[in-house]
């Protein structure tokens, strides 16, 4: 199995994955596309993003430092290498009904998913969440009297609170996007050692948003730094055209892309200040780019090429950003070897 990337993360094509033996250090996969993966071992955690891949390779692989062990517990499929664990849980909403207290179905599904993750991590001895990816259908739609993203945030927040994990310095990097279908899907990386949470000086911390954005603020840090196997990893959460807590440049995908690049630049400067290694730069990022409207792909791509350069690896896919007025979002990671 070969691909483009370095260290923990790499991009693959579906053909390359099907045509070669699996790396024994493989922790799991992220598979972009409406057609699901085929011919993969059941023991291999794979998160399917039910979203069209607009440009780039359709598979991302997460690889540990050595041979991995597989398991399945509490609905979570996972692999770990003794230091890092990658897991995936999917929860179908149609098994729930509206709660007696009026709690929406998605809220209950999100809380159940996160409670299962926390139980697993406690039992396996990986207490520190590094990075989380959340995908749910129709993220901006209102059901049961509340936007679905806000329902999700309540369930996630309550699970963090019940587990005693609402400690600001240990809140992981995360993304939450809307896709065309499928269950609530949560993938995550966790470690035996903690990460360092990074916040963006241009933005209000998401967990401090005012009540205008829902009954519970989103539970994630803007980025996280983690060290493993002689390397330092920077995980950048989904980043969009938000300054302070307000969405900027409504209806203008180019201006929104420029604003999110300014946010990325500020975030990397803050991460560099906290880093044990050299400064982080935009061109070294590998990224997922979420574009709400496919007709915006070309201008968004051109603007990112100017900001990130040609060396930054990225895949473009169609997905809904968590706010209905946001048209583009970027998440990323970068790796530095430590001497």
Tokens standing for 104?
């929406």
Out of 57, 124, 232, 329, which one is annotated catalytic? 329
Residue 239 has which token pair?
């980043």
- Residue 302 burial (CB count, 10 A): 12
29 CB-near residues (< 8 Å, 6+ apart): 12, 17, 37, 40, 44, 45, 46, 47, 59, 60, 61, 62
Q: Which of 132, 258, 123 is nearest to 206 (CA)?
A: 132
Dist CA 264 CA 133 (whole Å): 18
- Look at residue 201 and give its three-state secondary structure: coil
298 three-class SS: helix
Per the rule left: phi > 0, alpha: psi between -120 and 50, beta: everything else, 251 is left
- Whole-number Å distance between alpha carbons of 261 and 245: 16
The residue count of the chain comes to 339
Q: Round to whole Å and give the CA distance between 180 and 52.
A: 9
Residues 6 or more apart whose CB falls under 8 angstroms from that of 9 comprise 60, 61, 62, 63, 286, 333, 335
Among this protein's residues, is 329 annotated catalytic? yes
Active-site residue set = 329
């Amino acid at each position: 199995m070969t691909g483009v990337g370095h260290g923990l993360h790499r991009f693959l094509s579906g053909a390359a994955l099907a045509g070669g033996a699996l790396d024994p250090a493989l922790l799991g996969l992220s598979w972009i596309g409406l057609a699901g993966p085929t011919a993969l071992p059941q023991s291999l955690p794979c998160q399917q993003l039910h979203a069209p891949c607009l440009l780039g390779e359709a598979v991302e692989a997460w690889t540990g430092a050595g041979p991995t062990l597989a398991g399945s517990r509490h609905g979570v499929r996972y692999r770990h290498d003794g230091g890092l664990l990658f897991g995936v849980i999917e929860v179908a909403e149609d098994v729930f009904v509206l709660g007696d207290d009026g709690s929406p179905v998605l809220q209950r599904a999100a809380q159940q998913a996160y409670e299962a993750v926390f139980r697993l991590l406690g039992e396996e001895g990986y207490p520190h969440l590094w990075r989380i990816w959340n995908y749910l259908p129709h993220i901006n739609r209102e059901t049961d009297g509340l936007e679905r993203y806000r329902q999700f945030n309540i369930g996630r927040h309550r699970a963090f609170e019940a587990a005693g994990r609402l400690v600001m310095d240990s809140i992981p990097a995360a993304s939450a996007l809307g896709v065309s279908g499928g269950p609530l899907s949560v993938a995550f990386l966790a470690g035996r050692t903690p990460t360092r949470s990074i916040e963006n000086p241009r933005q209000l911390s998401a967990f401090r948003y005012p009540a205008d954005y829902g009954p519970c603020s989103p539970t994630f840090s803007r980025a996280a730094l983690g060290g493993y196997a002689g390397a330092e990893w920077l995980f950048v959460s989904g980043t969009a055209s938000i300054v302070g807590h307000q969405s900027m440049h409504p209806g203008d995908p180019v201006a929104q892309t420029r604003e999110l690049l300014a946010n990325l630049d500020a975030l990397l400067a803050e991460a560099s200040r906290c880093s044990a290694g050299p400064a982080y730069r935009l061109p070294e990022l590998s990224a997922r780019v979420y574009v709400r409207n496919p007709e915006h792909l070309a201008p968004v791509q051109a603007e990112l090429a100017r900001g990130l350069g040609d060396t930054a690896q990225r895949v473009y896919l169609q997905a809904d950003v968590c706010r209905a007025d946001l048209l583009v979002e970027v998440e990323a990671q970068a790796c530095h070897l430590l001497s």
